[in-house]
Amino acid sequence: MLTKIYDRGSYFCAPLKIGEEVIGIIAAWFKEETKFFPEEISLFVTYANTLSIIIHNLRLFEANAEKIRQLTILQDAVSEMNASHFLDNHILEILVRSALGIADSEKVLVYFLDVEKNRCLVNDGSKIFIDNRQEWEERIGPTIIREAIETDAIIARQASSAGASSRPFFPGCLSEIALPLKVRDKFKGALYLAKKSGDYSADQINVLDILVKNAATSYDNAIMHSVLSLEAKSLKTEVEKLKEREDILLGFHDILGKSKKMISLFHVIEEVAGHNTNILIQGESGTGKELIARAIHRQSNRNSSPFVDINCAAIPGTLLESELFGYEAGAFTDARKRKIGLLEHASGGTMLLDELGEMNIHLQAKFLRMLEDGYIRRVGGRENIPIDVRFIFSTNKDLGRMVAEGSFREDLYYRVSVVPITLPPLRERIEDLQLLADHYVEEFNKKFRKKVKGFTEEAAGILMAYPWPGNVRELKNIIERIMILHKDGAMITEKSLPAEMKATTHQEKFRIQIDQFLPQLSPEGMDFTLVMESITNDIKRKVIENALEISGENKTAAARRLGISRYKLIREQKKINNHIR
């Protein structure tokens, strides 16, 4: 505290201090000479101290307000960057705009090098342009931009510092800062800011560092989004293709199958469905010939017209003609009124003639004439009636052999078999068995309101080993029988399967192929007794080997399976080995 008394007046002053730092003074001056009392001086000092605190708080408030402003800009920038999912220049635009808001500068730019494409993207705040990499590398030369990229560190050159080691990128700018911007190994570059006077504060540099790192993360996310978008587009295309081929992959309407033979069959159906050519479906009973015929009809351009089917084996030959062609009133006894035949009913649609091989020779001739001329004549009638029918024929017989035997017309055979389709028996597409079995379990669960959980591993093994002479029809009937009697909620075990199925499977499992022993019977001069002994020993050896394999090479367990003692099993093995030697 300083007090002075002059001829023309008096004054006193006190320092304004924050800690030990003097930030100013406060003084009071009086025109007259005045003597100051200690109480007045003490009060003035208190006032000076209070004013110092107020000034300090104002400075803190201004600093905090600036920090809040910078952080608000940062928050808005990060939100906007995170919302940008595309590999365009939007993220770089946000970066430049936000950097200028955080730290006021005369010059700002983003230098961003695309390593893979060997080109650089430059944003100078007013425009974005793509330029030649070599030209820009020459321009940035030995500046802090290059130093920041090479060291992957923030490089600052402040106006208050002297002796800068690198030339400024923009002449006349005394303060400049470069912050590295790197995205994996794909992009590398820097954010550069410069101004002619004043330093960049530590707070500004820290906030800019956070901003640049978020820009790198957002750009990385945009890269991933671009990759995932391409993959998603590819997957969408693939899904659309799969949906188009859904019938092929999972079944064709009511036909289930994923084996190679069935997939090939579905392809054939798709190819022939759109044509009006005659189709001959061949296959064993129970393979689903009618289902295939209906599938072809549904896939054809006739699917809005009738599908008519008739089993040639179910109707006697004389009645079959009337069913197909119809008849006029009075054509025969009891023909009191005209009857429209199935061929007329099917006109415009599709007709399936099942068991074609059962059609008699007389009717075959009339049917052939109808196929050639495209019209029919009812029994007892004279009018030619045009029909438009797509024919599908099916049979479980060998029509080629019947032609050779004379029981089927050769000319009709060639007319009906324009496109032959052969359905594989279930035993030849065993890969589909589990799919079919699960489908029928689910079907009968709904029908009988049960929750049977499917087949155990052992039961499924028996299903796979069974030869299925009745094909899919037999499988469906057996599963329906099992489901009726089976306990709700339980799995189908080996005990639930029909005895004949288990017996057949057991025989197949242990059946010995005698054919492999037949060559031993042919050499001249061989003793029949020796041949039979050799065959017997081979059979014994195979049976014992099979029992040991099933029993995990445990001789006691194998002997128990064979119904003999362990001692006898060992003795039989020795006999067989001695015979081989």
Q: E strands of 116-223, at which residues?
A: 119-123, 128-132, 155-157, 175-183, 187-195
Q: What is the mean pLDDT of residues 368-385?
A: 92
pLDDT band with cut points at 50, 70 and 90 for residue 179: very high
pLDDT band with cut points at 50, 70 and 90 for residue 451: very high
Q: Is the pLDDT of residue 416 over 80?
A: yes
pLDDT computed for residue 397 by the predictor: 93
Supply angle C-alpha 440, 239, 224, rounded to 5. Answer: 135
CB 341 within 8 A of CB 380: no
Percent of the chain with pLDDT over 70: 85
Range name among 133-137, 214-218, 222-226 with the lowest pLDDT average? 133-137
Q: What is the mean pLDDT of residues 48-58?
A: 80
More confident residue, 502 or 422: 422
- Measured CA to CA, the distance from residue 265 to residue 170 in angstroms comes to 75
Q: Is the pLDDT of residue 471 over 80?
A: yes
- Average model confidence (pLDDT) across the chain: 82
Give 252-297 pLDDT, tens digit per residue: 556 888 888 998 998 898 899 989 999 999 999 999 999 999 999 9
Kindly state the tokens that stand for 66: 């600036």
pLDDT computed for residue 127 by the predictor: 60
Q: Is the pLDDT of residue 542 over 50?
A: yes
Range name among 41-45, 512-516, 541-545 with the lowest pLDDT average? 512-516
More confident residue, 255 or 424: 424
CA distances for 159 relative to 166, 195, 266, 560, angstroms: 13, 9, 80, 99
Task: Give buried/exposed letters for 174-201 (b at 16+ CB in 10 A, else e).
Answer: bbbbbbbbbbeeebbbbbbbbbeeebbe
How many angstroms from the chain centroid is the CA of residue 103? 49
pLDDT computed for residue 113 by the predictor: 79
pLDDT band with cut points at 50, 70 and 90 for residue 6: very low
pLDDT computed for residue 255 by the predictor: 82
pLDDT computed for residue 25 by the predictor: 84
Give 425-449 pLDDT, tens digit per residue: 999 998 999 999 999 999 999 999 9
Q: What is the mean pLDDT of residues 155-173?
A: 74
- Measured CA to CA, the distance from residue 473 to residue 450 in angstroms comes to 22
pLDDT computed for residue 581 by the predictor: 53
pLDDT computed for residue 518 by the predictor: 52
The dihedral through the CA atoms of 161, 167, 172, 177 has a sign that is negative
More confident residue, 351 or 232: 351
CB atoms within 10 A of CB 161: 11
pLDDT band with cut points at 50, 70 and 90 for residue 241: low
Q: Is the pLDDT of residue 78 over 80?
A: yes
390-395 vs 279-282, strand pairing mode: parallel
Q: What is the mean pLDDT of residues 173-178?
A: 88
**Which DSSP category does 425 fall into?**
P
Give 549-577 pLDDT, tens digit per residue: 777 788 888 888 788 888 888 888 888 88
pLDDT computed for residue 254 by the predictor: 67
Q: Is the pLDDT of residue 364 over 90?
A: yes
> CB within 8 A of 246, min separation 6: which ones?
none
Q: Which helix (H) or strand (E) holds 345?
A: helix 342-345
- Measured CA to CA, the distance from residue 358 to residue 486 in angstroms comes to 40
Closest CA to 193 of 266, 287, 98: 98
SS3 198: coil
pLDDT computed for residue 354 by the predictor: 95
Q: Is the pLDDT of residue 513 over 60?
A: no
Range name among 60-74, 316-330, 359-373 with the lowest pLDDT average? 60-74
pLDDT band with cut points at 50, 70 and 90 for residue 74: confident
- Measured CA to CA, the distance from residue 60 to residue 23 in angstroms comes to 14
Q: Which helix (H) or strand (E) holds 239?
A: helix 202-244
350-354 vs 390-395, strand pairing mode: parallel
- Measured CA to CA, the distance from residue 216 to residue 209 in angstroms comes to 11
